[in-house]
Structure formats: structure tokens, C-alpha cells
Structure 1
């Protein structure tokens, strides 16, 4: 049984979803970039999700978003389904598109965590040894200069989506928003902080690749590689699936956040035990989503703070 997850309106997350067996189905060419940007724009508008950063790697997607309305599972279900169906048509792919592991959803609790994870998303093509600098990546992405003010645009893909269906407009735009924690604390230094962290992560990747005697693949070759190949670089088994991040040097913040997660899970399980025993008056903790949406369970209105 998977751990219960708190879904809190206004929470900011780093979301990662991987392609089955690390196939390169999202190879950065024009048709897949169009599909990903278009689908992301339609899906976020449908569910009121704010996008802060985005990078489509050949074998996985990274997005940093804020779930304004507390409907993240609905958004992920819709977005991932349309991406998968569109990809199957574009790539003439039989079988599943997504990895069988659950989507990684990491809640970003501090400004430091937001800065570090956004830089991580932007630096991903560099860390993977594909391009020397983040801005060289040819796939769907957000540039550091676009944070909080950029706009992504895409026309409706000709594959899969029905032009007669009003939910698929001919063209869409996606305005990039500042994360709430940045808006609250001031945005003046945000771009500089992300840029500095991005440069640090790029330099770290350069040093590692040089030490290992490797070379960057380059944008041109990355765009032309077969989408049916699989990533060959070593990747350790994903035995950790973090729930939240607080960033480096945040004092007791991690300990407090971990205690809050444990308290939510304990409260949830106690309520679930009563529910399974037939007590339909059991009250689940604030942030409970599945039991509220699909079983009509009562949920506390007392919101915990991490």
C-alpha cells in the first residue's frame, strides 16, 4: 500500500515522470515539443495549475508547479494521459509510454528548495551530458530569463487531438508564474539566485564529465537519435521517493516538515481504520484527497502548517 499524500491548495511541487524503460520517446524534435507544450498549457488551464519551470528530457519530464486549487491528482491524470496517447500516435508506439513507478511528487516548502529544484530542472540536460549549457537544450523547456514572465506557445498538434472538440483550441499560450513563496518574500533576487545555482550545477556537471573522460552529446545529435533507443547511462535504482524538500542549510525545517508528514499519515491511517470498521463518521485530516473525492469521507477543516 502506498503512503497517503497530503494535497494542499497552494502547494508548490517538483513533478517528475519517466518513460517506460528509459526509452527516448520524448526526443527533442518539433512534433514532440509541440505536443508537450500544447498539452501542458491545456491541462494547467483546465485545472488552475501555475507553471514555474519545465524541461522535457528525452526519457522523462520535469515540471515545477503550484496547485492553486488542490486538484493535483486530477491534473496529473489528465496531462499524463493526453501526453501518452499523443506520443503513441506520433511515435507509432505500441504499449505503455510511462514507467510503471508512481510519479515523483516532491513538495517544495521553502524559497531555498524552490530555487534549488528549479535550477535542477533547468540544468538537467547538462547533468545528463547532453549539452554544455542549459539554454542549448533543443527540447521543450523554460529559460532562466523567462522565470515568472515568459510565455510558452503552441498550435494544436495534428495528431490525435480532434479539431472539432472545443477543449482543444487551435492555439494556446502558457504564462509562467512566480512561485507563491517568491511573491511573498520578494522577487527581486529570485532570478539571480536561480542563475547562480544553475551555474553551480552546470560547473559540477562539467567537472564530473571531464573527470570521467566523457564528452557532451550535443544538441544536434540529441535531436536526431532514434526515439526507440534507451538511455545507456548508469542510473541507480530509485529506492528513495522523497515527499518534500526544504533546500540546504535550513536548520530545523526538515525535522519539522518530517514530523508534519508523519502526523498526517498517522491521522489518516487512524481515520481509515475506523472507516474500514464501518464508522462512516470518521474524520480524515485536512489534505486528504482520494477518500474525500471517491468515497465522500469527512475531512477536517483544520489545516496543519509545515
Structure 2
């Protein structure tokens, strides 16, 4: 059984979903870029999700969002479903699009974590040895200068989305906002911090490519690879599934976050045990999603520190 996930209104997350067996189904051509952008805009609007950053790679998607209303699972279900169904049509693909692991959901607890994970998201094509600079990536993405002030916009794709269905507007847009962790500070300072962290990622990646005697693939060639091929670069097995990030050097924040997470899981296990024993008055900790939404379980009013 997987660990219960804390879902609370106002939390900011780095979300990652990977394609089955690292197939290049999300190759960054114009049709897939349009599909991903449109699906994200429609899904975010329906569930009140604030979008901060995005980078769609050929084998996975990174999005940084704030779940304003505490409905993240609903958003993920719709967004990933729309991308998968549209991709199956565009690629004439039979079978599942996404791999069998659950979506990686990492809560960003501090401003430093937000800066680092947004920079990490934007730097992905450079870290992967595809382009020398993040801005050169041809897929769906957000640029540093667009953080907190840009707009993602896409026309309705010609596949899958029925033009007569009012749920699918002719054009979908979503404004890029700043996370609450940085709203009280200077937006320009935040963008400068992200830019500096992004430059660090790019420098490390370029040095690694040079050291190994390789060349960057380039944007044009990245758009020409077969979407039915699989990535061949080495990828270490994913042994960890982090649930939160605090940023480098924030030792106190790590301790607090771990304590809150352990308290939530202990309280959840206790309440679940009581529920299974037939005690329907069992009270689950705040942040409980599945039991509250699908079984009507009671949830405590006491907030967690995470």
C-alpha cells in the first residue's frame, strides 16, 4: 500500500509524470506542444490551479503549480488524461501513455525550494544534453522572464477535443503567477534568483557534455526523432520518492517537515485502523484526501505545520 498523500489548499508543488518505458511520445513538435499547453490551461482553469512553470520533455512533463483549493488529485487526473488521450491519437499509439509509477508530487516548503525546483524544471533540456540553453528548447515551456507575468495560450487541438462541446473552448489560456512563498517579496528579485540558479544548471550541464566528448542534440534534431523510439541515455533507478523539498541548507525546515509528515502518517494509520474496525466516527488528520472525498470520513480541524 502506498503512503497517504497530504493535500492541503494553498500548497505549491513540483509535479512530474513520466511516459511509459521512456518512449519519446512527447517529442516537442508543434502538435504535441499545442496539446500539452491546451490541456494544462483547461485543467488549471477548471480546478483553480495557479501555474508557475512548465517544461515538457519528450519522455516526461514537469509543472510547478499552487493548489489553491486543495483539489490537486482532480487536476492531475484531468490534465494527464487529456494529454494521454490526445497523444494516443497524434501518435497512433495503442496502450498506456504514462508509466505505472504514480505522479511525483513534491511539496515546495520554502522560497528557496521554489527557486531551485523552478530552475530545475526549466533546465531539464540542458541537463539532458538536448540544447545548450533552456530558452532553445522547442517544446512547451516557460522562460524566466515570463515567471509571474507571462501567459500560456493554445488553440484547441484538431484531435480528440470536440468543437461542439463547450468544455473545450476554441482557445485556452492560463496566466503565469508567482507562488505565495514569493508574493511578499520582489518579483524581479525572484526572477533574478531563478535565473542565477538556471545559469548554474546550464554551466554544469555544458561542462558535463564537454567532459564526456559529446555534443548537444539541438532543437531541430530533437523535433525529428521518432516518437516511437525510447530514450537510450542512462537513467539511474528511482529508489526515492520525495514528498517535499526545502532548498539547500535549510536544515531546520527539513526537521520540521519530517516531523509533520510523520505525525500525519501516524494519525492517518490510526484513523484508518479504526475505520477498518467499523468505527465510522474515526477522525482523519487534516490533509486527508481519498477517505474524505470518496468515503465521507471526518477530518480534524487541527492544521499541520508542513
TM-score by length of 1: 0.99
Q: CA deviation at 1:300?
A: 0.5
Q: Answer whether contact 2:55 2:139 (CA < 8 A) is retained.
A: yes
SS of 1:227's partner is: coil
Name 1:240's counterpart in structure 2.
240
Report deviation, 1:211: 1.2
Pairing of 1:1-306 with structure 2 (within 5 A): 1-306=1-306
State whether residues 18 and 59 of structure 2, in contact with CA within 8 Å, keep that contact through their aligned partners in structure 1: yes
Runs of 4+ in structure 1 over 4 Å off:
none
2:52 partner SS: strand
Aligned pair count?
Answer: 306
Conserved in 1, the CA contact under 8 Å of 2:25 and 2:228?
A: yes
SS of 1:16 mapped into structure 2? strand
Name stretches of at least 5 consecutive residues in structure 2 with no aligned partner.
none
Report the Cα distance in structure 2 between the residues aligned to 1:214 and 1:105, rounded to whole angstroms: 32
Q: Distance in 2 between matches of 1:185 and 1:220?
A: 39
Residues 226-261 of structure 1: per-residue CA shift (max 9 Å, x gap): 101111110011110000000001131111101110
Aligned-residue RMSD, C-alpha? 0.7
The two structures have a TM-score, normalised by structure 2, of: 0.99
Question: Do 2:54 and 2:62's aligned partners in 1 also have CA atoms closer than 8 Å?
Answer: yes
What SS does the aligned partner of 2:251 have? coil
Asked whether the 8 Å contact 2:138–2:219 carries over to 1, the reply is yes
The 1-side partners of 2:174 and 2:256 are apart by 35
Mapped partners of 2:158, 2:272: distance in 1: 46
Segments of 5+ residues of structure 1 without an aligned counterpart are none
> Cα distance, 1:209 vs. partner?
1.2
> Following TM superposition, by how much is the alpha carbon of 1:187 offset from its aligned partner in structure 2, in angstroms?
2.5
Take 2:60 and 2:39, find their aligned partners in 1: how far apart are those partners? 15
User: What are the superposed Cα offsets for residues 24-52 of structure 1, whole Å, 9 maximum, x if unpaired?
Assistant: 00100010000000000000000000000
Asked if structure 1 preserves the Cα contact closer than 8 Å seen for 2:256 and 2:305, the reply is: no
Secondary structure of the 1:189 match is helix
Partners of 2:79 and 2:140 in 1: how far apart?
Answer: 15
